Amino acid sequence: MKVTLKEIARRAGVTANTVSRALNNRGGISEATQKRILQIAREMNYIPDRIASSLRSKKSNLVGVMVPDISNPYYADIIRGIEDGAFENGFQILLSISQEDQTREWNIIDQFRSLRVEGVLLMPSYESRELIQTIADLSIPCVLINRRYMGYEIPFVMPDNVNGIRQAVSHLVGKGHERIGFLNGHPGSMTSQIRYNAFTESIRESGLELAQCPSVMCAGSYASACEKTKELIQNHSSLTAIMCFSDLLAFGAYKAIRENDLSIPDDIAVVGFDDIELSTIVSPPLTTVQIPRYNMGRAAMKQLLKSMNKESSLSSGEYMETKLIVRNST
Protein backbone atom coordinates (compact mmCIF):
# COMPACT_ATOMS: atom_id res chain seq x y z
CA MET A 1 0.00 0.00 0.00
CA LYS A 2 1.35 3.43 -1.04
CA VAL A 3 2.30 5.77 1.81
CA THR A 4 1.19 9.39 1.33
CA LEU A 5 2.60 12.69 2.56
CA LYS A 6 -0.53 13.19 4.67
CA GLU A 7 0.09 9.93 6.54
CA ILE A 8 3.68 10.91 7.28
CA ALA A 9 2.52 14.38 8.36
CA ARG A 10 -0.11 12.91 10.69
CA ARG A 11 2.45 10.67 12.38
CA ALA A 12 5.05 13.48 12.60
CA GLY A 13 2.52 16.04 13.86
CA VAL A 14 3.30 18.52 11.07
CA THR A 15 1.68 19.69 7.84
CA ALA A 16 2.00 17.90 4.51
CA ASN A 17 3.83 20.97 3.18
CA THR A 18 6.44 20.62 5.93
CA VAL A 19 6.90 16.96 5.01
CA SER A 20 7.35 17.93 1.38
CA ARG A 21 10.01 20.48 2.32
CA ALA A 22 11.87 17.92 4.40
CA LEU A 23 11.78 15.18 1.78
CA ASN A 24 12.90 17.53 -1.00
CA ASN A 25 15.55 19.30 1.11
CA ARG A 26 14.03 22.70 0.36
CA GLY A 27 14.77 24.36 3.68
CA GLY A 28 12.43 26.51 5.72
CA ILE A 29 12.32 24.01 8.59
CA SER A 30 14.69 23.14 11.41
CA GLU A 31 17.33 20.47 11.00
CA ALA A 32 15.84 18.48 13.86
CA THR A 33 12.38 18.49 12.26
CA GLN A 34 13.79 17.41 8.92
CA LYS A 35 15.72 14.53 10.47
CA ARG A 36 12.63 13.37 12.35
CA ILE A 37 10.47 13.46 9.20
CA LEU A 38 13.09 11.61 7.15
CA GLN A 39 13.33 8.93 9.83
CA ILE A 40 9.55 8.49 9.89
CA ALA A 41 9.42 8.33 6.10
CA ARG A 42 12.06 5.56 6.11
CA GLU A 43 10.21 3.62 8.80
CA MET A 44 7.03 3.83 6.73
CA ASN A 45 8.90 2.80 3.54
CA TYR A 46 7.81 5.96 1.76
CA ILE A 47 8.78 6.09 -1.94
CA PRO A 48 8.24 9.48 -3.64
CA ASP A 49 6.51 9.60 -7.03
CA ARG A 50 8.96 11.92 -8.78
CA ILE A 51 7.19 11.75 -12.13
CA ALA A 52 3.83 12.77 -10.73
CA SER A 53 5.43 15.50 -8.66
CA SER A 54 7.29 16.97 -11.63
CA LEU A 55 4.13 16.95 -13.74
CA ARG A 56 2.24 18.86 -11.05
CA SER A 57 4.93 21.40 -10.32
CA LYS A 58 6.51 21.46 -13.79
CA LYS A 59 9.81 21.06 -11.96
CA SER A 60 11.89 17.90 -12.02
CA ASN A 61 14.56 18.98 -9.48
CA LEU A 62 17.02 17.32 -11.86
CA VAL A 63 20.25 18.70 -13.32
CA GLY A 64 21.91 17.01 -16.27
CA VAL A 65 25.69 16.60 -16.08
CA MET A 66 27.75 15.47 -19.07
CA VAL A 67 31.44 14.60 -18.67
CA PRO A 68 33.89 12.88 -21.04
CA ASP A 69 35.08 10.24 -18.57
CA ILE A 70 34.67 9.24 -14.92
CA SER A 71 37.75 7.01 -14.67
CA ASN A 72 39.93 10.12 -14.81
CA PRO A 73 40.27 11.55 -11.27
CA TYR A 74 40.16 15.05 -12.77
CA TYR A 75 36.50 14.68 -13.71
CA ALA A 76 35.59 12.64 -10.62
CA ASP A 77 36.56 15.51 -8.33
CA ILE A 78 34.52 18.00 -10.35
CA ILE A 79 31.50 15.70 -10.17
CA ARG A 80 31.79 15.50 -6.37
CA GLY A 81 31.65 19.29 -6.18
CA ILE A 82 28.63 19.40 -8.47
CA GLU A 83 26.82 16.68 -6.53
CA ASP A 84 27.37 18.35 -3.16
CA GLY A 85 26.22 21.72 -4.50
CA ALA A 86 23.15 20.17 -6.07
CA PHE A 87 22.15 18.16 -3.00
CA GLU A 88 22.44 21.15 -0.71
CA ASN A 89 19.93 22.97 -2.90
CA GLY A 90 17.40 20.16 -3.28
CA PHE A 91 18.53 18.91 -6.70
CA GLN A 92 19.73 15.57 -7.98
CA ILE A 93 22.08 15.07 -10.90
CA LEU A 94 21.69 12.86 -13.94
CA LEU A 95 25.22 11.89 -14.94
CA SER A 96 26.06 10.86 -18.50
CA ILE A 97 29.44 9.94 -19.99
CA SER A 98 30.16 11.16 -23.52
CA GLN A 99 33.39 9.19 -24.04
CA GLU A 100 34.49 12.21 -26.08
CA ASP A 101 32.18 11.12 -28.89
CA GLN A 102 30.14 13.86 -30.54
CA THR A 103 27.29 11.54 -31.54
CA ARG A 104 26.89 10.50 -27.91
CA GLU A 105 27.00 14.17 -26.89
CA TRP A 106 24.11 15.01 -29.22
CA ASN A 107 22.08 12.08 -27.82
CA ILE A 108 22.85 12.95 -24.20
CA ILE A 109 21.69 16.55 -24.64
CA ASP A 110 18.48 15.32 -26.31
CA GLN A 111 17.87 12.90 -23.42
CA PHE A 112 18.38 15.65 -20.86
CA ARG A 113 15.79 17.78 -22.63
CA SER A 114 13.28 14.91 -22.89
CA LEU A 115 13.66 14.21 -19.16
CA ARG A 116 12.85 17.87 -18.43
CA VAL A 117 16.01 18.61 -16.47
CA GLU A 118 15.98 22.15 -15.09
CA GLY A 119 19.55 22.90 -16.10
CA VAL A 120 22.63 21.30 -17.58
CA LEU A 121 26.34 21.31 -16.78
CA LEU A 122 28.32 20.30 -19.84
CA MET A 123 31.93 19.37 -20.52
CA PRO A 124 31.87 18.92 -24.32
CA SER A 125 34.83 17.05 -25.76
CA TYR A 126 36.09 19.00 -28.74
CA GLU A 127 34.87 21.96 -30.70
CA SER A 128 32.00 21.32 -33.10
CA ARG A 129 30.33 24.40 -34.51
CA GLU A 130 26.96 22.63 -34.81
CA LEU A 131 27.11 21.29 -31.25
CA ILE A 132 28.14 24.68 -29.86
CA GLN A 133 25.21 26.33 -31.62
CA THR A 134 22.83 23.71 -30.22
CA ILE A 135 24.13 24.37 -26.70
CA ALA A 136 23.80 28.13 -27.20
CA ASP A 137 20.20 27.69 -28.37
CA LEU A 138 19.11 25.52 -25.43
CA SER A 139 15.89 26.70 -23.80
CA ILE A 140 17.12 25.59 -20.37
CA PRO A 141 19.97 27.13 -18.33
CA CYS A 142 23.41 25.79 -19.19
CA VAL A 143 26.91 26.24 -17.77
CA LEU A 144 30.06 24.97 -19.45
CA ILE A 145 32.90 23.48 -17.42
CA ASN A 146 36.47 23.57 -18.74
CA ARG A 147 35.22 25.32 -21.87
CA ARG A 148 34.53 28.81 -23.11
CA TYR A 149 33.17 29.36 -26.60
CA MET A 150 34.13 32.77 -27.89
CA GLY A 151 31.28 34.57 -29.63
CA TYR A 152 28.60 32.65 -27.73
CA GLU A 153 26.97 33.94 -24.55
CA ILE A 154 27.18 30.69 -22.61
CA PRO A 155 28.17 30.89 -18.90
CA PHE A 156 31.33 28.98 -18.04
CA VAL A 157 33.64 27.94 -15.22
CA MET A 158 37.21 27.00 -16.10
CA PRO A 159 40.71 27.05 -14.64
CA ASP A 160 43.08 29.93 -15.27
CA ASN A 161 45.14 27.93 -17.77
CA VAL A 162 47.26 30.88 -18.84
CA ASN A 163 48.49 31.75 -15.37
CA GLY A 164 49.11 28.09 -14.59
CA ILE A 165 51.36 27.64 -17.62
CA ARG A 166 53.19 30.89 -16.87
CA GLN A 167 53.95 29.75 -13.33
CA ALA A 168 55.28 26.42 -14.61
CA VAL A 169 57.50 27.95 -17.29
CA SER A 170 58.81 30.59 -14.86
CA HIS A 171 59.70 27.84 -12.40
CA LEU A 172 61.62 25.86 -15.03
CA VAL A 173 63.44 28.93 -16.30
CA GLY A 174 64.33 29.81 -12.72
CA LYS A 175 65.89 26.34 -12.43
CA GLY A 176 68.16 27.17 -15.37
CA HIS A 177 66.31 25.33 -18.14
CA GLU A 178 66.60 26.90 -21.58
CA ARG A 179 65.36 24.05 -23.76
CA ILE A 180 61.88 23.14 -22.62
CA GLY A 181 59.59 20.84 -24.61
CA PHE A 182 55.79 21.01 -24.49
CA LEU A 183 53.76 17.80 -24.59
CA ASN A 184 50.29 19.00 -25.56
CA GLY A 185 46.88 17.32 -25.50
CA HIS A 186 44.40 16.46 -28.23
CA PRO A 187 44.57 18.77 -31.28
CA GLY A 188 40.79 19.27 -31.27
CA SER A 189 40.70 20.57 -27.71
CA MET A 190 40.26 24.28 -27.08
CA THR A 191 42.16 23.88 -23.81
CA SER A 192 45.11 22.46 -25.72
CA GLN A 193 45.20 25.59 -27.86
CA ILE A 194 44.95 27.88 -24.83
CA ARG A 195 47.78 26.13 -23.00
CA TYR A 196 49.97 26.01 -26.12
CA ASN A 197 49.51 29.74 -26.72
CA ALA A 198 50.33 30.41 -23.06
CA PHE A 199 53.42 28.23 -23.31
CA THR A 200 54.81 29.96 -26.40
CA GLU A 201 54.07 33.41 -24.97
CA SER A 202 55.74 32.51 -21.66
CA ILE A 203 58.82 31.22 -23.49
CA ARG A 204 59.10 34.50 -25.40
CA GLU A 205 58.60 36.57 -22.25
CA SER A 206 61.38 34.59 -20.57
CA GLY A 207 63.81 35.54 -23.34
CA LEU A 208 64.26 31.96 -24.57
CA GLU A 209 64.36 30.95 -28.21
CA LEU A 210 61.07 29.38 -29.24
CA ALA A 211 62.88 27.27 -31.83
CA GLN A 212 64.74 25.57 -28.96
CA CYS A 213 61.47 24.76 -27.16
CA PRO A 214 59.58 22.32 -29.42
CA SER A 215 56.04 21.07 -28.88
CA VAL A 216 54.16 17.95 -29.94
CA MET A 217 50.51 16.97 -29.70
CA CYS A 218 49.21 13.56 -28.67
CA ALA A 219 45.84 11.85 -28.50
CA GLY A 220 45.49 12.68 -24.82
CA SER A 221 46.17 9.17 -23.51
CA TYR A 222 48.97 7.72 -21.39
CA ALA A 223 50.15 5.54 -24.29
CA SER A 224 50.18 8.36 -26.82
CA ALA A 225 52.03 10.60 -24.35
CA CYS A 226 54.73 7.96 -23.95
CA GLU A 227 55.10 7.61 -27.72
CA LYS A 228 55.25 11.37 -28.39
CA THR A 229 57.71 11.95 -25.55
CA LYS A 230 60.06 9.42 -27.13
CA GLU A 231 59.82 11.40 -30.36
CA LEU A 232 60.63 14.61 -28.51
CA ILE A 233 63.68 13.08 -26.86
CA GLN A 234 64.96 11.47 -30.07
CA ASN A 235 64.47 14.59 -32.21
CA HIS A 236 65.63 17.10 -29.59
CA SER A 237 68.36 15.50 -27.52
CA SER A 238 69.27 18.82 -25.88
CA LEU A 239 65.94 19.09 -24.03
CA THR A 240 66.32 19.40 -20.26
CA ALA A 241 62.64 19.80 -19.29
CA ILE A 242 59.17 18.90 -20.51
CA MET A 243 55.97 20.80 -19.71
CA CYS A 244 52.94 18.49 -20.01
CA PHE A 245 49.32 19.30 -20.80
CA SER A 246 48.12 17.14 -17.91
CA ASP A 247 49.34 14.88 -15.13
CA LEU A 248 48.16 11.83 -17.09
CA LEU A 249 50.41 12.85 -19.99
CA ALA A 250 53.24 13.53 -17.55
CA PHE A 251 53.03 9.92 -16.36
CA GLY A 252 53.41 8.81 -19.98
CA ALA A 253 56.43 11.10 -20.24
CA TYR A 254 57.90 9.46 -17.11
CA LYS A 255 57.74 6.06 -18.79
CA ALA A 256 59.33 7.31 -22.02
CA ILE A 257 62.16 9.09 -20.21
CA ARG A 258 63.05 5.99 -18.22
CA GLU A 259 62.87 3.74 -21.27
CA ASN A 260 65.50 6.02 -22.80
CA ASP A 261 67.73 5.38 -19.76
CA LEU A 262 67.36 8.96 -18.54
CA SER A 263 66.52 10.09 -15.01
CA ILE A 264 64.00 12.57 -13.60
CA PRO A 265 64.87 15.35 -12.83
CA ASP A 266 68.64 15.02 -13.32
CA ASP A 267 68.44 14.53 -17.09
CA ILE A 268 64.94 15.83 -17.81
CA ALA A 269 62.63 17.71 -15.47
CA VAL A 270 58.88 17.15 -15.82
CA VAL A 271 55.92 19.39 -14.95
CA GLY A 272 52.27 18.31 -15.14
CA PHE A 273 48.93 20.08 -14.94
CA ASP A 274 45.91 19.18 -12.72
CA ASP A 275 47.50 17.90 -9.48
CA ILE A 276 45.54 14.67 -9.29
CA GLU A 277 46.22 12.44 -6.28
CA LEU A 278 48.56 10.14 -8.21
CA SER A 279 50.95 13.08 -8.62
CA THR A 280 52.08 12.59 -5.02
CA ILE A 281 52.43 8.81 -5.39
CA VAL A 282 54.61 8.52 -8.51
CA SER A 283 58.39 8.56 -8.11
CA PRO A 284 59.62 11.20 -8.03
CA PRO A 285 56.49 13.10 -6.93
CA LEU A 286 55.33 15.32 -9.79
CA THR A 287 55.65 19.09 -9.89
CA THR A 288 52.32 20.22 -11.30
CA VAL A 289 49.81 23.02 -11.65
CA GLN A 290 46.99 22.59 -9.17
CA ILE A 291 43.39 23.09 -10.27
CA PRO A 292 40.74 23.34 -7.51
CA ARG A 293 38.59 20.72 -9.22
CA TYR A 294 36.09 20.14 -6.40
CA ASN A 295 35.58 23.88 -5.96
CA MET A 296 35.21 24.24 -9.72
CA GLY A 297 32.32 21.77 -9.63
CA ARG A 298 30.67 23.66 -6.79
CA ALA A 299 31.20 26.99 -8.56
CA ALA A 300 29.61 25.61 -11.74
CA MET A 301 26.57 24.38 -9.80
CA LYS A 302 26.28 27.74 -8.03
CA GLN A 303 26.39 29.59 -11.33
CA LEU A 304 23.79 27.25 -12.83
CA LEU A 305 21.46 27.91 -9.88
CA LYS A 306 21.86 31.64 -10.49
CA SER A 307 21.00 31.18 -14.16
CA MET A 308 18.00 29.04 -13.25
CA ASN A 309 16.82 31.79 -10.89
CA LYS A 310 17.62 34.45 -13.50
CA GLU A 311 20.09 36.07 -11.11
CA SER A 312 22.99 36.40 -13.57
CA SER A 313 23.52 37.38 -17.18
CA LEU A 314 23.98 34.72 -19.84
CA SER A 315 27.52 35.89 -20.55
CA SER A 316 28.81 35.41 -16.99
CA GLY A 317 31.92 33.32 -16.50
CA GLU A 318 34.46 32.46 -13.83
CA TYR A 319 38.15 31.55 -13.92
CA MET A 320 39.36 29.40 -11.04
CA GLU A 321 42.78 30.16 -9.58
CA THR A 322 45.64 27.81 -10.48
CA LYS A 323 48.76 27.29 -8.37
CA LEU A 324 52.08 25.59 -9.07
CA ILE A 325 52.88 22.79 -6.62
CA VAL A 326 56.63 22.15 -6.61
CA ARG A 327 57.76 18.57 -5.95
CA ASN A 328 60.79 16.45 -6.82
CA SER A 329 60.33 16.06 -10.60
CA THR A 330 61.95 19.46 -11.15
Averaged over 107-119, what is the pLDDT?
Answer: 91
Domain ranges for the chain, please list them.
5-48, 58-158+293-319, 161-292
Spatial CA neighbour of 121 closest among 328, 330, 320, 297: 297
Per CATH, the number for 58-158+293-319 is 3.40.50.2300
Residues 248-293 have pLDDT tens digits of 999 999 999 999 999 999 999 999 999 999 999 999 999 999 999 9
Residues 69-96 have pLDDT tens digits of 888 788 999 999 999 999 999 899 999 9
For the beta sheet containing 180-184, the strands, ordered from the edge strand earlier in sequence to the opposite edge, are 215-217, 180-184, 241-244, 269-274, 287-290, 323-325
Q: How much is the pTM?
A: 0.80
Pick the CATH number of 161-292 from 3.40.50.2300, 3.40.50.970, 3.20.20.80, 2.40.170.20: 3.40.50.2300
277, with CB counted inside 10 A (0-12, 13-18, 19+), is exposed
Q: What is the percent of the chain where pLDDT is above 90? A: 64
pLDDT of residue 21: 87
Residues 162-171 have pLDDT tens digits of 999 999 999 9
Residue 52 in this model has a pLDDT that exceeds 60 = no
pLDDT band at 55 (very low <50, low <70, confident <90, very high): very low
Is there a cis peptide before residue 155, judged by omega within 30 degrees of 0? no
pLDDT of residue 213: 97
Per CATH, the number for 5-48 is 1.10.260.40
Q: Do domains 58-158+293-319 and 161-292 have the same CATH topology?
A: yes
**What is the chain's mean pLDDT, rounded?**
90
Residues 172-191 have pLDDT tens digits of 999 999 999 999 998 878 88
Query: What's the rounded Cα separation, in Å, for the pair 175 and 291?
Result: 23
Residues 136-157 have pLDDT tens digits of 888 899 999 998 887 788 899 9
Distance of alpha carbon 72 from the chain centroid: 10
CB neighbours of 34 closer than 8 A, spacing ≥ 6?
A: 21, 22, 25
Query: What's the rounded Cα separation, in Å, for the pair 64 and 24?
Result: 18
Query: What's the rounded Cα separation, in Å, for the pair 229 and 76?
Result: 27
Spatial CA neighbour of 183 closest among 168, 205, 204: 168
